[in-house]
Structure 1
Amino acid sequence: MLDPHDHRALGRRMRLFHLQEEGPGMVFWHPRGLACLRLLEARVRRVMEADGFLEVRTPQVLARSMWERSGHWDAFRDGLFIVAGAPERAIKPVNCPGHIQIVQRLAPSWRDLPLKVAEFGVCHRNEPSGALQGLFRLVQFTQDDGHLFCLEDQVVPQVAGFAASLFRFYAASGFPSAQVALATRPEVRAGDDATWDRAEAWLGEAARQAGLSFEVHPGDGAFYGPKLEFTLRDRQGRPWQCGTLQLDLVMPERFGLEVAGPAGPLRPVMLHRALLGSLERFLGILLEHHGGDLPLWLAPEQVMLAPVEAAHQAFAAHLRTRFQAAGLRAVIAPPGDSLGRRVRTARDLGIPWFVALGDREAAGGPLHLRPRRGEGREAPPEDAIAWLAAQDA
Structure 2
Amino acid sequence: MVKITLPSGDIKEFDHAPNMFEVAKSISNSLAKKAIAAKVDGEYVDMRYIADKDAEVELVTPDTEEGEEVIRHSAAHLMAQAVIRLFPETKVAIGPAIENGYYYDFDPKEQFTEEDLVKIEAEMKKIVKEDIKVERIEMTREDAIKHFEELGENYKVEIITDIAKGEMLSFYKQGEFMDLCRGPHVPSTKYIKAFKLKSLAGAYWRGDSKNKMLQRIYGFAFSDEKKLKAHLKFLEEAEKRDHRKIGKELGLFFMSEYGPGFPFFMPKGMTIRNILIDLWRKEHTKAGYEQIMTPIMLNKELWETSGHWYNYRENMYTSEIDETEFAIKPMNCPGGVLAYKQEMHSYKDLPIRAGELGTVHRHEFSGALHGLMRVRSFTQDDAHIFMTPEQIEDEIIGVIELIDKFYSGLFGFEYNIELSTKPEKAIGSDEIWEKAESALEGAMKRLGKEYKINPGDGAFYGPKLDFKIKDAIGRTWQCGTIQLDFNLPERFDINYIGEDGEKHRPVMIHRVVYGSIERFIGILIEHYAGAFPLWIAPTQVKILTINDEVVPYAKEIMAKLQEEEIRAEIDSRTESIGYKIREANGKFKVPVQVILGKDEVANREVNVRRFGSKDQESMKLDDFVKMIKEESKIKFYENK
In which range does the TM-score fall when normalised by the shorter chain?
over 0.9
Residue 377 (structure 1) shift: 4.6
The answer for the alignment partner of 1:368 in structure 2 is 607
- After superposition, the C-alpha distances for 1:177-231 in whole angstroms (9 at most, x for unaligned) are 2100012344565545554344333322232223222111234333422111111
Which of the residues 389, 404, 413 maps onto 1:152? 389
Contact 1:178 / 1:230 at 8 angstroms: preserved in 2?
A: yes
Q: Is the 8 Å Cα contact of residues 271 and 538 (structure 2) preserved in structure 1?
A: yes
Deviates more, 1:236-245 or 1:305-314: 305-314
Assess, with a 3 A threshold, how the Cα gap between structure 1 residues 204 and 353 changes in structure 2: closer, same or farther: same
Out of 292, 311, 325, which is 2:549 matched to?
A: 311
1:312 to 1:129, Cα distance in 2 relative to 1, 3 A: same
Spell out the pairing of 1:89-104 with structure 2 (5 A cutoff).
89-104=326-341
Residue 389 in structure 1 maps to residue 625 in structure 2: no
After the TM superposition, which of the residue ranges 290-299 and 148-157 deviates more from structure 2?
148-157
1:328-362 deviations in Å (ceiling 9; x for gaps): 11111242322222223323223211101222222
Summarize the alignment of residues 154-169 of structure 1 with structure 2, pairs less than 5 Å apart: 154-169=391-406
Could you tell me which residue of structure 2 aligns to residue 357 of structure 1?
Answer: 596
- How far the C-alpha of 1:120 sits from its partner, in A, is 1.1
Query: Which residue in 2 is equivalent to 1:324?
Result: 562
Task: Rate the CA distance shift 1:266–1:57 in 2: closer, same or farther, 3 A.
Answer: same
Tell me which of 305, 330, 335 is aligned to 1:69: 305
- Which one has more relative contact order, counting CA pairs under 8 Å at least 6 apart? 1
Paired amino acid for 2:418: A
Checking the alignment, whether the CA contact within 8 Å between 1:302 and 1:351 is kept in structure 2 is: yes
TM-score (norm 1): 0.93
Using structure 2 for the length normalisation, give the TM-score: 0.58
1: CA distance, partners of 2:423 / 2:609? 52
Which structure 2 residues correspond to residues 189-204 of structure 1 after superposition, within 5 A? 189-191=426-428, 193-204=430-441
Q: CA deviation at 1:275?
A: 0.6
What is the CA-CA distance between 1:137 and the residue it aligns to?
Answer: 0.8
> In the superposition, relative to structure 1, how do residues 202 and 75 fare at CA in structure 2: closer, same or farther (>3 Å)?
farther
Counterpart-to-counterpart distance in 2, 1:170 and 1:385:
29
Give the counterpart letter for 1:131 in structure 2.
A
Superposed, which structure 2 residues align to 1:96-175 within 5 Å? 96-175=333-412
| Aligned-partner Cα distance in 2 for 1:81–1:317 | 49
Amino acid at match of 1:15: G
Contact residue 299 and residue 324 of structure 2 kept, 8 A: yes
| Corresponding position of 1:82 | 318
Specify the code of the residue in structure 2 equivalent to 1:129.
S
Q: Which amino acid aligns with 2:554?
A: A
Question: In the superposition, relative to structure 1, how do residues 225 and 378 fare at CA in structure 2: closer, same or farther (>3 Å)?
Answer: farther
Corresponding residue SS for 2:330: coil
Give the match for residue 22 of structure 1: 258
SS in 1 for 2:535: helix
C-alpha distance in 2, partners of 1:135/1:33?
12
Which stretch of the first structure deviates more once superposed, 78-87 or 16-25? 78-87
1:199/1:248 contact within 8 Å kept: no
Secondary structure of the equivalent of 1:94?
coil
The secondary structure found in structure 2 opposite 1:236 is coil
SS class of match (1:306): strand
Q: Kindly tell me the number of residue pairs found equivalent between the two proteins.
A: 393
CA distance in 1, matches of 2:345, 2:619: 55
Match of 2:270 in 1: 34
> What is the identity, as a one-letter code, of the residue corresponding to 1:44?
W
CA displacement at 1:106 relative to structure 2 = 4.3
Cα separation, partners in 2 of 1:387 and 1:67, compared to 1, 3 Å: same
Bigger shift: residues 176-185 or 102-111: 102-111
Contact kept, 8 Å, 1:236 with 1:289, in 2: the verdict is yes
CA gap of 1:229–1:376, structure 2 versus 1, over 3 A, is farther
Q: Which runs of 5+ in 2 are unaligned?
A: 1-198, 200-237, 634-640
> Is this contact kept in 1: 2:413–2:471, CA < 8 A?
no
Instruction: Give the SS at the match of 2:301.
Output: helix
1:276 and 2:526 matched: no
| 1:287 paired residue number | 525
Contact 2:252 2:267 in 1 (8 A): yes
Q: 1:336 — aligned with what?
A: 574
3-state DSSP of counterpart to 1:351: coil
Between the aligned partners of 2:258 and 2:366, the Cα distance in structure 1 is: 12
Name which one, 1 or 2, has greater alpha-carbon Rg: 2
CA distance in 1 between counterparts of 2:300 and 2:445 reads 39
Task: Please give the alpha-carbon distance, in whole angstroms, between the structure 2 residues aligned to 1:189 and 1:76.
Answer: 17
Cα distance change, pair 274–6 in 1 and its aligned pair in 2 (3 A): same
The two structures, once aligned, show a CA RMSD in angstroms of: 2.2
Does structure 1 retain, via aligned residues, the 8 Å contact 2:413–2:470?
no
Partner AA of 1:358 in structure 2: G
Deviation digits for residues 247-278 of structure 1, max 9, x if unmatched? 11221122111123332233222111111110
Greater alpha carbon shift after TM alignment, 312-321 vs 370-379: 370-379
1:260 corresponding residue in structure 2:
497
The worse-fitting range, judged by mean Cα deviation, of 254-263 and 285-294 is 254-263
Query: Structure 1 residues 230 and 371 mapped into 2: Cα distance closer, same or farther (>3 Å)?
Result: same
Would the aligned equivalents of 1:243 and 1:277 in 2 still touch at CA under 8 Å?
yes
Question: Structure 2 counterpart of 1:56, which letter?
Answer: I
Counterparts of 1:28 and 1:213 in 2: how far apart (Å)? 39
- Residues 214 and 311 of structure 1: CA distance in aligned 2, closer, same or farther (over 3 Å): same
1:199-238 equivalences under 5 Å are: 199-238=436-475
The letter of the residue matching 2:568 is: A
The alignment partner of 2:260 has SS state of coil
Is 1:379 matched up with 2:619?
yes
What is the distance in 2 between the residues matched to 1:188 and 1:59? 31
| Alpha-carbon distance in structure 2 between the residues aligned to 1:239 and 1:342 | 36
Q: Secondary structure at the match of 1:222?
A: coil
Preserved contact between residue 75 and residue 188 of structure 1 (Cα < 8 Å): no
